[in-house]
């Protein structure tokens, strides 16, 4: 008899896994607590299809990003969804950043990033005439899409193949009996042969219901964006990124031309005061204290307090955000930061020692597969993550 597999989470990764299973003729039901798919991280990001510039060669991120990039392009062509290769510049603006740019170039070559080349100051101006910098790495195949639209299209594939996507189904309890997994939601009960958890910002809470190790915990980081006014959007042709500082887990403020031609500046990265805290006004005392009491809180604060102060300051004081952005585009004016768009919240996995997990992380507890850490480039990699989970967890023998 065919197994019935349940998936918790209707973001792009959960829906991609459901679609891949349906393509294999497997009975699938997705449980999503919101009333539409792609409600959280999938629907609140900048839409970048990453080419693989930054990731440690040989890591799961690097491998699945390369595969997922090509699968996403093919799927968008099949479904006639927008896929625009606007290109990305990673720009060094000081001599101190040049060795780190060398490292990015080396990683990109090892990861076989298509079309990547090193540019000098004059050459980068040919790509982005309003930018400034000493040197850059150019990734011409880095693309922009609408990940929410892709998720909706894959959800339709699931339904057309006989799979079920049940919305408004917040999971309240999970138990195992005789190799089965029982799920209680706010409105129903379900029984599955296997369960896959792709719960994003709630993934550690669902992991506790399963009886998994409480580490890693999810630390939500909010990223805020400013949007350039229409009359100034010609300042940016594609994407302009800073050289990432390896001491910090985030990229820093950057410029992105979206798939519908709006140009965004951001995001920054500030600790959110609620798991789904898309603004300073959304506060959860429980979520905040839960983070403060985590054993990794003090080590994290000691290591990254300076970055935290800078990011929070730039969030609250507009001129600080402006100064960080203007380093890359000198023609930018304060008036150009006139509209703050909806922020996103990143589900960052956080270990007990205070370290922030970088690579994708997947756990197995009996018949339950848990995606514990799926940060960027998870949206790019969603279809390849789906294949990986099926091959290495569902087709592999069950863990004891």
Same-domain status, 255 and 118: yes
Same-domain status, 223 and 325: yes
Neighbours of 371 (CB within 10 A): 28
Residue 370 falls inside a structural domain: yes
Same-domain status, 246 and 329: yes
Q: What is the pLDDT of residues 196-244, one digit of tens each?
A: 999 999 999 999 999 999 999 998 888 888 899 999 999 999 999 999 8
| pLDDT at residue 263, as a whole number | 95
What is the domain range of residue 309? 85-143+219-350
Q: Which residues pair with 99 in a beta bridge?
A: none
Query: What mean pLDDT do residues 367-381 have?
Result: 95
Q: Give yes or no for a contact between 303 and 355, defined as CB atoms under 8 angstroms apart.
A: no
SS3 readout for the chain: CCCEEEEECCCHHHHHHHHHHHHCCCEEEEEECCCCCCCCHHHHCCCEECCCCCCCCCCHHHHHHHHHHHHHHHHHHHHCCCCECCCEEEEECCHHHHHHHHHHHHHHHHCCCCCCEEEEHHHHHHHCCCCCCCEEEEECCCEECCHHHHHHHHHHHHHHCCCEEEECCCEEEEEEECCEEEEEECCCEEEECEEEECCHHHHHHHHHHHCCCCCCEEEEEEEEEEECCHHHHHHCCCEEEECCCCCCCCCCCCEEECCCCCEEECCCCEECCCCCCCCCCCCCHHHHHHHHCCCCHHHHHHHHHHHHHHHHHHHHCHHHHHHHHHCCCCCCCHHHCCEEEEEEEEEEEECCCCCECCCCEEEEECCEEEEEECCCCHHHHHHHHHHHHHHHHHCCCCCC
Q: Tally the domains of the chain.
A: 2
Q: Give yes or no for a contact between 74 and 379, defined as CB atoms under 8 angstroms apart.
A: no
Q: Highest mean pLDDT range out of 52-61, 138-147, 248-257? A: 138-147
Whether the per-residue pLDDT at 135 is higher than 90: the answer is yes
Same-domain status, 138 and 254: yes
Which of the four pLDDT bands, split at 50, 70 and 90, describes residue 301?
confident
Which of the four pLDDT bands, split at 50, 70 and 90, describes residue 270?
confident
Q: Give yes or no for a contact between 86 and 50, defined as CB atoms under 8 angstroms apart.
A: no
Residue 66 falls inside a structural domain: no
Same-domain status, 338 and 301: yes
Which of the four pLDDT bands, split at 50, 70 and 90, describes residue 1?
very low
Same-domain status, 241 and 120: yes
Same-domain status, 132 and 169: no
Question: CA-to-CA distance for 344 and 225, rounded, in angstroms?
Answer: 9
Residues 6+ apart with CB under 8 A from 103: 246
| pLDDT at residue 245, as a whole number | 76
The domain that holds 298 is classified in CATH as 3.30.9.10
Q: What is the pLDDT of residues 84-128, one digit of tens each?
A: 999 999 999 999 999 999 999 999 999 999 999 999 999 999 999
The domain that holds 184 is classified in CATH as 3.50.50.60
Same-domain status, 137 and 223: yes
Which of the four pLDDT bands, split at 50, 70 and 90, describes residue 398?
low
Structure tokens, 291: 């983070």
Same-domain status, 255 and 289: yes
Beta-strand pair 239-242/88-92: parallel
Whether the per-residue pLDDT at 180 is higher than 80: the answer is yes
| pLDDT at residue 342, as a whole number | 66
Which of the four pLDDT bands, split at 50, 70 and 90, describes residue 287?
confident
Residue 283 falls inside a structural domain: yes
| pLDDT at residue 275, as a whole number | 86
Same-domain status, 123 and 252: yes
Task: Using the CB atoms, write b or e for 215-232: b if 16+ within 10 Å.
Answer: bbbbbbbbbbbbbbeeeb
Whether the per-residue pLDDT at 399 is higher than 60: the answer is no
Higher-confidence residue: 49 or 268? 49
Whether the per-residue pLDDT at 11 is higher than 70: the answer is yes
Residue 80 falls inside a structural domain: no
* Phi, psi angles (nearest 5°) of residue 302: -65, -40
| pLDDT at residue 63, as a whole number | 97
Query: What mean pLDDT do residues 165-187 have?
Result: 95
Q: What is the pLDDT of residues 31-89, one digit of tens each?
A: 999 999 999 999 888 899 999 998 999 999 999 999 999 999 999 999 999 999 999 99
**Based on the number of CB atoms within 10 Å of its own CB, is 271 exposed (0-12), middle (13-18) or buried (19 or more)?**
middle
Residue 60 falls inside a structural domain: no
Same-domain status, 17 and 152: yes
| pLDDT at residue 9, as a whole number | 98
Structure tokens, 273: 């005061």
Same-domain status, 251 and 303: yes
Furthest CA-CA distance within the chain: 67
Place of tokens 């939601």: 185
Give the global pTM: 0.94
Whether the per-residue pLDDT at 278 is higher than 90: the answer is no
Question: CA-to-CA distance for 53 and 90, rounded, in angstroms?
Answer: 9
C-alpha neighbours within 13 Å on the C-beta side of residue 170:
6
Of 55, 87, 83, residue with least CA distance to 70: 83
Question: CA-to-CA distance for 292 and 285, rounded, in angstroms?
Answer: 10
**Based on the number of CB atoms within 10 Å of its own CB, is 264 exposed (0-12), middle (13-18) or buried (19 or more)?**
buried
């Amino acid at each position: 008899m065919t197994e019935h597999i349940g998936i918790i989470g209707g973001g792009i990764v959960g829906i991609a896994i459901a679609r891949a299973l349906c393509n294999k003729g497997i009975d699938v039901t997705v449980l999503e607590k919101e009333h539409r798919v792609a409600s959280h991280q999938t629907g609140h990001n900048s839409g970048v299809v990453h080419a693989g510039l930054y990731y440690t060669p040989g890591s799961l991120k690097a491998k699945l990003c390369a595969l997922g990039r090509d699968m996403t392009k093919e799927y968008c062509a099949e479904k006639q969804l927008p896929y625009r290769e606007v290109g990305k510049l990673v720009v060094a603006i000081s001599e101190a950043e040049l060795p780190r740019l060398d490292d990015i170039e080396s990683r990109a070559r090892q990861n076989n990033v298509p079309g990547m080349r090193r540019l000098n100051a004059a050459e980068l101006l040919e790509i982005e005439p309003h930018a400034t910098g000493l040197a850059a790495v150019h990734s011409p195949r880095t693309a922009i899409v609408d990940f929410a639209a892709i998720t909706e299209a894959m959800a339709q594939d699931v339904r057309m193949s006989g799979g079920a996507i049940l919305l408004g189904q917040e999971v309240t309890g999970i138990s195992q009996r005789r190799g089965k997994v029982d799920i209680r939601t706010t409105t129903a009960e379900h029984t599955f042969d296997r369960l896959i958890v792709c719960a994003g910002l709630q993934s550690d809470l669902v992991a506790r219901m399963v009886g998994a190790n409480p580490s890693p915990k999810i630390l939500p980081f909010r990223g805020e964006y400013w949007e350039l006014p229409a009359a100034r959007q010609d300042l940016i042709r594609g994407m302009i990124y800073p050289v990432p500082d390896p001491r910090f887990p985030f990229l820093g403020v950057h410029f992105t031309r979206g798939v519908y031609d709006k140009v965004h500046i951001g995001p920054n990265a500030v600790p959110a005061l609620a798991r789904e805290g898309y603004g300073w006004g959304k506060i959860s005392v429980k979520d905040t204290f839960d983070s403060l009491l985590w054993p990794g809180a003090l080590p994290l604060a000691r290591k990254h307090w300076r970055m935290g102060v800078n990011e929070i300051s730039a969030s609250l004081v507009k001129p600080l955000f402006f100064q960080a952005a203007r380093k890359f585009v000198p023609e930018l004016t304060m008036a150009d930061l006139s509209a703050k768009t909806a922020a996103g919240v990143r589900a960052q996995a956080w270990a007990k020692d205070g370290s922030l997990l970088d690579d994708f992380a997947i756990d197995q507890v009996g018949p339950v597969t848990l995606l514990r850490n799926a940060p960027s480039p998870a949206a790019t990699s969603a279809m390849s993550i789906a294949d990986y989970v099926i091959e290495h967890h569902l087709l592999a023998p069950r863990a004891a």
